[in-house]
Structures are given as structure tokens and as C-alpha cells.
Amino acid sequence: MRYKNMLSFMILSALLALPAAAQQGVKPAPPQLTAIKAGKLVDPETGLTAANQIILVENKTIKEIGASVKIPAGAKIVDLSKSTVLPGLFDAHTHLCMSVQPKRDANNYYITTLFDTTAYRAIEGVANGQAMLASGFTTVRDIGNAGNYADTDLRMAIENGVVQGPTVVNSGIIIAPYGGQFHLQPEKKELATPEYLFADTRDEMRKAIRQNIHFGAKFIKIVVDDQQYIYSADDIRFIIAEAHASGLKVAAHCWTHAGARNAAEAGVDSIEHGYRMTDEELQLAKQNNVTLVGTEFTEKMTQASGNLWEHKTWVDRLRRAYKLGVNMAFGTDVDVELPGETRGTLAIDYLSSWAEAGVPAADTLRAMTTNAAKLLGVEKERGSLKPGMAADIIATPENPLDNIQTLRKVSFVMKDGAIIKQ
């Protein structure tokens, strides 16, 4: 480019140096400041409560926290001086883009996938995500069964501010041995598509992982053992190596003893369900740093799912896992529509399973925040309230460390600095 004279060159250079907004005569927006006055502030990691704290939020993040933080002029003040304030909750096992209608679908989500298009499921994902947010869940791991990547579109729509919702860490299409979690008939083989990626050989496993990553997955979900043939410990090691090489972790659905043993032995990042795992299997999981996302079904949910399993068996396994010191993250696996309930109210109801198993409030809260944040790989941004962290903040009438059931009554929700519920 050549300039006719030095003056025009200087004017152009000066203009280019200005921010775009100033060039158009628009002043840049001042930072949005919110000061939250917290009567009590809970740190789930330490299990400690501080009184009369001020949390200063600038735009999407926490700027300062303390008893003597100066509230800048012009800051919006949120008075939660009669409440307990804590980080937003996590559900590490959700299916936001699937809603089984028990009557229509005869409690069988195979039928749900035949009725509902991916587009419809993305819309359900928005509604379910908002319901989760209203119940205090500001981050979820969405663990498959989202049609043709509705979960990726849901995550992106939330990240781009198109809709409000929790932070979503999604796993794309579930990778499984032939048949996935369905029992097909030979003339209708294609009916498991796009719900599952069948992967039986190493080449198929590698390709399935890469397809998921390419289409926006942030976690890899495998089903180890829903068929007569299951993934071996070596298969799972191969899958972990391939996923980890791209920076993704692996969640393994395990229902049987053999499946849980293989996943624990391979050192998968998380075992999902682990229904009826023995103490020995739990020990192996602990030894190999596997997080258990136990999805301990409530009585209501076992009934809604057609009584295919027993609530008391879930509670017993949770009690044993806790006693053995297995690292655990809270996860629900709610995927049904029930009258009078939302995805959020059904999910928070899993607190009853944790209470029945005798897990102390502080440990339950850790499973719902810091432990889950580490598993999801977002612990540097979410899961605790510190300067620099995302402003994902909730409030409850009582201190959950004294009464964990108060989490059913979340009265305030802030997501990335925006007030969702007050």
C-alpha cells in the first residue's frame, strides 16, 4: 500500500490505533459490578463457613472476596445477609437432550429416540438446562444420548449467549460394543443410529473418539457392559490413551461386576453407576484414582424407570463407597418427565439417597462442587468461590453444612455474573 502524503498516513495510523467502539463514537461499556452481601459464605473444599462476607463480581468473574471489601460507587448490591452463599452445584451425569415420557415410551428410551428428532431434543436440552439452573446446578456433564450431537449445539448456544443455561461439558455420541445399549433386530440395525457409535476393533474405537472430538465432544463416554460381550481392560486402556492424547477424559458406564472391574483396572477417569460394585471392586477403583459417579437412584426415579433396579441397593453401594474413601462426584442420570417435577427438582432429590447412605453434609457438598469440578476439568474456573473464578453463585436459607436438604430451596442463582433467580 502506498500513501499520497505523510499526513494521510498519520491520520490512518491514528484511526487504526483506536478501539473500534471509539471510532464509531460509542463509549465502551463500563464493567458491570455487583456486590453480594453474604450472611454466611461456605467453602466446600475446606468445609468452613465465614460470616458477613462481600463478594465483588466484575462482569463474569469474582474480583474480590472478604469482610472488608470496599463496594465501589455504582455497583449493584445484592443483599443475601440472611442467607448462606456457596458455589453453584454440579450434576456430573445428565442427559439434558433426552426426556423419556414414561407412558408414551413404555419406560424405554429406545422408543424415545425413535420419536424425538435431534432438533426437538436440542430444545428439550434448553428447557432442561434452564430447569437445572433454577435448582442451583450451574455446571453439568452431559453424558450422551443427545441424538446427532444436540449436546454440542446446546453447549455452544449457551457459550455464545444465545440461551441461558448451565456450563455444559458434553460427551457427544456414546461409544459402545455392537448394539450399544439397545437390543436390535437384524432388519432394523440402523435404528441405533445416531444414538450410539459401535466400536469393536481398535480402529473403530480410535475413529469413534476422533469423530466425537471433531463434532464438539469435551469428554468421551463409553458403555462397557450392556451386551453379552464387553470391553476388556485392554480395550479401555486403549480408549483412555487415545482420548487423553487429545486432552479428553473418559467416563465408563458399568453395570456388571466384570465391567466395573475392567474399567477400574484400566484406570478410567470415572465409573458411571457402578450398581452393586463389591468392596473389592471399589477398592480397585480407589487404588487407580477412579472417580465414582454413582447415580444413586431415588425411590421416585426407580419407580419412574419401571423398577428395573432397587433404591436400597444403590444406597448400600453409596454407603460402602463412602466408607472405603472412594473419590465421588454427584451425578443423577435423570432422563424422564414426571408430572409436577422439573429436571432440576428430580436431580436435587438425589440428596435423599446421600442422606440415607449416611454421607456427611460436607462430603456431599464436596461431591456436588469441588470433586465434580476436578472430574470435569473445570476446577480452575468453577466449583469454588475465589478471586478470578467464574461468578457461579447460589444461596440457600440455611447453611447446607448444618442441613444439606436446604439445597432443595435455592433462593438465588447467579451464572457467569448474570442473576438468574432472586
Nearer to Zn ion, 242 or 333 (CB): 333
Least CB distance to Zn ion at residue 293 (A): 9
Does the footprint of Zn ion cover residue 142 (CB under 5 A)? no
How many CB atoms within 10 Å of residue 104?
Answer: 11
Nearer to Zn ion, 33 or 329 (CB): 329
Taking CB atoms, the residue at the shortest distance from Zn ion is 333
C-alpha separations of 183 from 109, 114, 186, 336, 344 in Å: 12, 14, 10, 20, 30
Least CB distance to Zn ion at residue 130 (A): 20
Does the footprint of Zn ion cover residue 333 (CB under 5 A)? yes
DSSP per-residue letters across 182-239: ----GGGGGGGTTTEEE--SHHHHHHHHHHHHHTT-SSEEEE-SSSSS---HHHHHHH
Half-sphere exposure of 289 (CA within 13 A, CB side): 5
Nearer to Zn ion, 305 or 406 (CB): 305
Q: What is the DSSP letter of 342?
A: -
Nearer to Zn ion, 84 or 332 (CB): 332
Instruction: Tell me the residue ranges of DSSP E strands in 44-101.
Output: 48-58, 61-66, 76-87, 89-94
Asked if residue 360 has a cis previous peptide bond (ω within 30° of 0), the answer is: no
DSSP per-residue letters across 121-180: HHHHHHHHHHHHHHTTEEEEEE-S--TTTHHHHHHHHHHTTSS---EEEE--SEEESTTT
Please compute Rg for the chain using Cα positions: 24
Nearer to Zn ion, 105 or 333 (CB): 333
From 152-160, 181-189, 310-318, 329-337, give the range in contact with Zn ion by CB under 5 A: 329-337
Least CB distance to Zn ion at residue 332 (A): 9
Nearer to Zn ion, 45 or 333 (CB): 333
From 6-14, 81-89, 331-339, 382-390, give the range in contact with Zn ion by CB under 5 A: 331-339
Least CB distance to Zn ion at residue 168 (A): 15
C-alpha 349/C-alpha 146 separation (Å) is 23
Which residues fall within 8 angstroms of residue 222, CB to CB, at 6 or more apart?
A: 174, 175, 176, 231, 236, 239, 250, 251, 252, 253
- For the window 289-328, what string marks contact with Zn ion as x by the rule CB under 5 A? ----------------------------------------
From 16-24, 148-156, 311-319, 332-340, give the range in contact with Zn ion by CB under 5 A: 332-340
Nearer to Zn ion, 56 or 236 (CB): 236
C-alpha 309/C-alpha 297 separation (Å) is 9
Least CB distance to Zn ion at residue 182 (A): 14
Burial level of 347, CB count in 10 A (0-12/13-18/19+)? buried
Least CB distance to Zn ion at residue 333 (A): 4
Least CB distance to Zn ion at residue 66 (A): 41
- Binding residues for Zn ion, rule CB under 5 A, total 1
Least CB distance to Zn ion at residue 174 (A): 9
From 276-284, 333-341, 365-373, 392-400, give the range in contact with Zn ion by CB under 5 A: 333-341
Nearer to Zn ion, 265 or 335 (CB): 335
Least CB distance to Zn ion at residue 227 (A): 16
Does the footprint of Zn ion cover residue 226 (CB under 5 A)? no
Chain contacts with Zn ion (rule: CB under 5 A):
333
